[in-house]
Amino acid sequence: MFKKYENNPVVRRTEGTFYSKYAANPDILEFNNKLFFYFRGQDENNHDQIGVSTCSFETFNGIRWDTTTAEPILKVNPDPKTYDSNHILDPAAVVIDNKVYLYYSAHSMEMPHSISLAISHDGINFKKYDKNPIIHNAVVPEVVIKNEQVYLFYQRWTAGSKGVSKFYVCTSSNGIDFDVSTEKVVFEPDEFSQSVSTNRIFYEDGFYYSFYGNNERFKDYPESIGISRSNNLFTWEKSSKTIIRRGNPGTWDEGALWFATVYKHKDTYYLWYEGTGTGNNRITQKDIMESDNAVNESYGGYGKSSFSQIGMATYSGKLSEYFK
């Protein structure tokens, strides 16, 4: 089914860029006759920020992009008291009234995390909404438009060090004002999951398909990507089949997989995902110890010996095959 690209990762952490430490959190959008590939980057300043690459439909191959903006398009606020002073990550973009609405997770030096919004006329130059945050104590937005309603999905964590994540949704008529008193839990762990992470939704032929991180042992360190589907965005059918699993020990994605973002071009589904691992091939004893840590511990060695990068997988069948 979905097969990983043999030369992954396709977006590597790159020295001298805003993603020199991590490249992660992919999200793709069609806008103004181009494709926009939003992603999280982090450099030696240790702040997550959001950048973008673009390409035409004619040059698209899922691997290379015509242009990558040199600087982050959404930067953290230098004031530590603000809502997004530490990290800006988890982009989720949609077109509303011919403008790009980019929802993101905002992490502060001093405030609880939240979901916030920035708006752009060209998909590159964004202005943060002046009444951010729009949803408090939530992370990892995903956005869908159905029947002129904006459905905003997000994660909330249950209490405690072993808390788990559930997916919630609430709606809005303008993409800004969301009444969280009406929010509903739409997806949560079952007997095969400790927790679920990073909901990404793709629509085709009357079904909305959710690609999500399946945590078998930990709160937020998914060993695999699962799939579920819905025809109404509230009730979801979970497939017993797995989309992709993390790589073998010693590979670049041996640790965990997040943010499986899908786009269909011609007859092929392209799936980009964030993976983390050492990629050290387990050559020395030190390599083996670091690889074992990445594989066996939640965020084992993350930011020291294990680093996020973006990989790709493709599939030329039908998504309905996952539900047979």
pLDDT in tens, 124-157: 999 999 999 999 999 999 999 999 999 999 999 8
Whole-angstrom distance, CA of residue 100 vs CA of residue 152: 15
CATH of the domain at 91: 2.115.10.20
pTM over 0.95: yes
> How is residue 302 annotated by DSSP?
B
Range of the domain at 216: 3-323
State the residue for tokens 């909901």: 199
Q: Which residue from 79, 15, 76, 83 is spatially nearest to 46, judged by alpha carbons? A: 76
- Cβ pair 249, 292 in contact under 8 A: yes
pLDDT in tens, 250-292: 999 999 999 999 999 999 999 999 999 999 999 999 999 999 9
Mean of the per-residue pLDDT values of the chain: 96
Q: What's the total number of domains in the chain? A: 1
Where is pLDDT greater, at 191 or 114? 114
User: pLDDT tier at 191 (50, 70, 90 boundaries)?
Assistant: confident
pLDDT exceeds 70 at position 79: yes
Mean pLDDT for 7-32 is: 98
In the three-class reduction of DSSP (H, G, I as helix; E, B as strand; rest coil), residue 321 is classed as: helix
